[in-house]
Amino acid sequence: MSDFGQHPNVPPPPPSGGPFNPPPPPVLHTPPPGYGPPGYAPVGPAGYPLVTADSTAARPRPQVAVGSLLLIIGGVLLIIGAFLPWATFELSIIDVEETINGFSSGSGSTRDGPIFLFFGLLALGFGIAQLAARRILAVAILSVVFGVFALIAALGEIGSLKEDLDSLNEFGTASLGPGPWVMLVGAAVALAGGITTLAKRRR
């Protein structure tokens, strides 16, 4: 019988994905702008860093406990020094012995104790404010300014007292008390506290 008109036995085509036809490559998804590959920080256009809400968040305020503590100690020393004896003198001619402090009055004038009391209260207030306030830059600057004023005032007071006591030594004995020196140390400590806070704040 003739095979004419009958289709030859042609093998069917191999199924897709066989050993000779690998599957198509996976579709790569390009991340949207602003998002990089996993594990990398997001970037903006032209390689610039992307500004996000986290990057613009307010930084935590620095710890200024050391500067605040120095201001508080300096303020307390200034206040104590204003009440301590500033000078003691004894006049042998009229047999008079007297001790003065920052609030003693004589010859129609009063000593500068209230000024140092004011400086001490300021330093004490600055130290407490720095521990509680969120913005401490202005407080730190003011504490440095008033610390310089207090230090200059203490040095001037010591010089003035020494001149007065030298003139009294001709008629008796006179000596400088601990009050001015305590105020000088307090002013220096308060100034150091302001500088420490300002340096910490600017980092």
Strongest mean pLDDT among 70-79, 135-144, 171-180: 70-79
pLDDT at 116 over 70: yes
pLDDT at 131 over 90: no
Average pLDDT, the chain: 77
Q: Tell me what pLDDT residue 144 has.
A: 94
Entry pTM? 0.66
pLDDT at 55 over 50: no
The CATH architecture one would assign to domain 65-201 is: Up-down Bundle (1.20)
DSSP string, the chain: ---TTSPP-PPPPPPTTSTTSPPPPPPPPPPPTT--STTS--B-GGGPBPP-TTTTSPPPPPP-HHHHHHHHHHHHHHHHHHHS--EEEEETTTTEEEEE-TT-EETTEE-SHHHHHHHHHHHHHHHHHHHH-S--HHHHHHHHHHHHHHHHHHHHHHHHHHHHHHHHTTTEEEEE-HHHHHHHHHHHHHHHHHHHHHHHHT-
pLDDT, tens digit (0-9, with 9 covering 90-100), for 67-93? 999 999 999 999 999 999 998 877 766
Q: Tell me what pLDDT residue 57 has.
A: 47
What string of H, E and C letters represents the secondary structure of 97-116? EEEECCCCEECCEECCHHHH
Domain residue extents for the chain: 65-201
For residues 79 and 179, what is the distance between their CA atoms, to the nearest angstrom?
10
